[in-house]
Structure 1
Amino acid sequence: MVELNGTSAPASDSHTGTQIDQIAVSPTAPDQVANLAQTIASLSKAFTAGEAGARLQLLEAADSLVSALETPRETILRYCWRNPTGFAAIETGINLGIFRYLSDHDRPIPIAELATATASDIVLLQRIMKQLNAVHAVTETGRDEYTSNNFTRTVANTRYADAFPTITGTTSPAITAIPAFLRQTQYQNPTNGLACPFQQGFNTKYSFFDFLSRDPTLSAQFNNLMSVYHQGRASWMDPGFYPVERLTHPSNHTDSGILIVDVGGGKGHDLNEFRAKWPSARGRLILQDQPGVLAEATGLHESIERMPHDFFTEQPCKGSRAYFLHSVLHDWPDDTCLKILAPLRAAMTPGYSRLLINENVIPDRGAHWQATGLDWVMMADFAGAERTEAQWRELLTRAGFRILKIWTGDAWSESLIECEVVE
């Protein structure tokens, strides 16, 4: 390892100053531009024709084209200037009510009117609006005049807007602390949720969830983020993903009468979605989480039962057809995951009950940034992880489960890991 403490030169300094300056202002991958442009042209036609999956493929190709055309210097400025300041401008816009005001008025809004509506300094507001337009959060229609776009209208809604204060209040300082934390720990993989970048970034002794529980406003914002981040991604219960009939067939019912127990299910968005998409499915649907979280689970279908439960304790629902964990295990290192899985294994009926884990399965090659980025969030906040298939198999084998199949909808969405108990 090359030390970067001022006593040793980084390996890249083998290039002369002139050479590195030329590299820094040249496109990163000019040889890829022509092929990517052709791919974009083809995918644009597919998208216009309404072909399934074309939009996401086009988005990936467009991102690759930007990366190929962008110079290293421009990439540096994007990470150092555009992304963090764009985030700050958007959160400020949320706090001021800018997005809501623009969305409530179906016309261009002059800056003077917006300053009056938000009770903000007009010079400051000009700076805010120029940055929001630069990152496409609003649309500039003239000099000091702005209107809404679909992003504006989305973050005008509290459920979506809460992503920004949630990340500020729970995650950004922890992510910023990662490089120093890893250096101090000699680059060992974090495995202790009470000694990870979160504690360093927030200067706290508490775990993530203990820290969160002490701030009701932040807790509510976090639950809103959890309720929307899955939106627009392939869902395990959609046709062509997981064959739900495996669970719902009449021959697959026992005296327990429970179809799905959503363990740590938050505000119940998964069970609500299931009931909407599979209205005739027989069996009880049970939502389990902490009492404070369940209290915020409004708008649940009347058939969904709330059950306060700590998933580290004995599972009260015995012999259920399915125990469902959505984005639970990635919050925890392996040893803690084993403690979460043990009560479920004890409650399951061998040969009948299924454990369904809805999480990312990181591929060996070509992993998507949504999965790898979330992996770093888990590292920062929990000493948790998004796992590869090999890591999932190792963990679940240790916990006494056999993976029947890993079901995957597309490269941009979480998988469904279907397991049974090993007798």
Structure 2
Amino acid sequence: MAVKLDEFSSSLDAVAIQAGDVVTVPHLITDMLPYLDLPINEHHRLHLLRIARLLVQALETPRETVIRLCWAEPTLYGAIIVAIDCGIFSYMSQTPNEPVPVEYLARVTEMDPILTSRLMKHLSAMGIFQESAPDLYLATNLSKALALSKYAGGFTCMAEGAMKAIYRLPEYFRSTGYRNPDEATAGPFQFAYETSQHWFQWVSERPAICQQFNHHMSAYHQGRPSWMDRDFYPVENALLNLVKPGPNAVLLVDIGGGFGHDLQEFHQKHPSAPGRLIVQDKADVIQQVPNEPGKVEFMAHDFFTEQPIKGARAYYLHSVLHDWPDAECRRILRHISDAMAPGYSKLLINENVVPDQKADWQITGLDLMLMTLASARERRESEWHQLLTDAGFMIVHIWSHINGGESLIECQLA
């Protein structure tokens, strides 16, 4: 038996230094060839990006992958946070098209030149900067983006408010018998940070992290397909066609809508749409909204309580339900259903619908982040049907864009 185990171990060692799937490499390269003579639009870019990632997976050996995941990527995260903290990205962005010497960066950041050189070496090796000569670096599009707070904020927010919970996941799951977390205030985050607060409550008491999180969410939504666009959801035919007349008729209620970015965008894209546009969020959020006259109205409201706006044309939830386990989602949804006018009101849910196969890494990564921070989840279509049916709704249609991103789940009362 020992000989056989040794042979088995040796065979696995041999696999670890072989390319992941070298057989697929010619096929993947062939799939790229037609795009050489085509203009790279967004659809083509995403398709090529998917092939490129598959090509890296096919060429990289398991040993290389292990070293990358254990050494290069964890230290990259730390290097990025240090570079944000000391201002390296800001200084590099001041001369975006000229090489910057390490000596200059060390002087303006007041860092040890040796430390600066080591950080820049790794940041360059991982593609954050471009190394043009020894100790001479050029900015990239990525490093320029990280000079902006809305892109840098995600790193600092996750470092302060998530990483401890991520690294203690094995300990947490051992303590629960590897049960899927479904209690909003008794999950991995509470276990690691020794608190009984929900993540959102915990963050709200830490203004710096809260601001970083808001920046991060702004970056997350940047450049993604919007359901309000004419090639996504048929706004005129499916939403505006039956709006009740009158000065008090409500077209859209954006529940948990923060500072109103979605309804501001809606008004810009559909300026002649009839009816009121109302954003609801907790009182402490609404108090931070600038008091400026405009089409969009703001109202303090806790979505775990009775919905005060009755009979609106549509109630809208954007990235709300994925923050909560099913039990809390049913409470939110039942308050909405109680306010809806049968045969007239719609429920519009703007969220990810996880495909049963070949889900994008952005969705799966967010799913596990939500599990860690809020015992919440991204949902498959079957899970959306079950949740909405339990709350008294039926799905009319799930609208998705050709270039991916979040879907719009259109619902009505069952």
TM-score class normalised by the smaller sequence: over 0.9
1:26 aligns with 2:18: yes
Deviations 1:129-173 (A, max 9, x none): 111111211222221122211111111111221111111122222
Report the CA distance shift for 1:130/1:184 in structure 2 as closer, same or farther (over 3 A): same
* Whole-angstrom CA distance in 1 between matches of 2:291 and 2:66: 44
* Whole-angstrom CA distance in 1 between matches of 2:36 and 2:307: 50
Unaligned runs of 5+ in 2: none
Amino acid in the other structure paired with 1:353: S
Q: Which residue of 2 aligns with 1:72?
A: 62
Q: Which residue of 1 aligns with 2:328?
A: 336
* Whole-angstrom CA distance in 2 between matches of 1:360 and 1:301: 33
Q: Which residue of 2 aligns with 1:109?
A: 100
RMSD: 2.1
Q: Which residue of 1 aligns with 2:149?
A: 158
Q: Which residue of 1 aligns with 2:199?
A: 208
1:389 aligns with 2:381: yes
Q: Which residue of 2 aligns with 1:173?
A: 164
Q: The residue matched to 2:317 in structure 1 has which SS?
A: strand
List aligned pairs for 1:247-262, cutoff 5 A. Answer: 247-255=238-246, 256-262=248-254
Report the CA distance shift for 1:139/1:296 in structure 2 as closer, same or farther (over 3 A): farther
Deviations 1:304-359 (A, max 9, x none): 21212111111121111111111110111111101111111111111111111111
8 Å Cα contact 1:223-1:267 kept in structure 2: no
Q: The residue matched to 1:179 in structure 2 has which SS?
A: helix
List aligned pairs for 1:86-125, cutoff 5 A. Answer: 86-106=76-96, 107-125=98-116
The percentage of aligned residue pairs carrying the same residue is 44
Q: Which residue of 2 aligns with 1:238?
A: 229
Amino acid in the other structure paired with 1:412: G
Q: Which residue of 2 aligns with 1:227?
A: 218
Deviations 1:210-241 (A, max 9, x none): 21121011111111212220112222112221
8 Å Cα contact 1:27-1:71 kept in structure 2: yes
Report the CA distance shift for 1:51/1:14 in structure 2 as closer, same or farther (over 3 A): farther
Return the match for 1:83 from 73, 77, 83: 73
Report the CA distance shift for 1:284/1:144 in structure 2 as closer, same or farther (over 3 A): same
Q: The residue matched to 1:53 in structure 2 has which SS?
A: helix
Q: Which residue of 1 aligns with 2:139?
A: 148
Amino acid in the other structure paired with 2:120: M
Report the CA distance shift for 1:13/1:237 in structure 2 as closer, same or farther (over 3 A): farther
8 Å Cα contact 2:243-2:251 kept in structure 1: no
* Whole-angstrom CA distance in 2 between matches of 1:161 and 1:276: 28
1:42 aligns with 2:34: yes
1:267 Cα deviation from its structure 2 partner: 2.6
Q: The residue matched to 2:410 in structure 1 has which SS?
A: strand
* Whole-angstrom CA distance in 2 between matches of 1:122 and 1:405: 58
Q: Which residue of 2 aligns with 1:281?
A: 273
Q: Which residue of 2 aligns with 1:308?
A: 300
1:63 aligns with 2:53: yes
Unaligned runs of 5+ in 1: 1-8
1:131 aligns with 2:122: yes
List aligned pairs for 1:193-204, cutoff 5 A. Answer: 193-204=184-195
* Whole-angstrom CA distance in 2 between matches of 1:296 and 1:14: 65
Give the TM-score normalised by structure 2: 0.94
8 Å Cα contact 2:326-2:387 kept in structure 1: yes
* Whole-angstrom CA distance in 1 between matches of 2:353 and 2:92: 40
8 Å Cα contact 2:259-2:289 kept in structure 1: yes
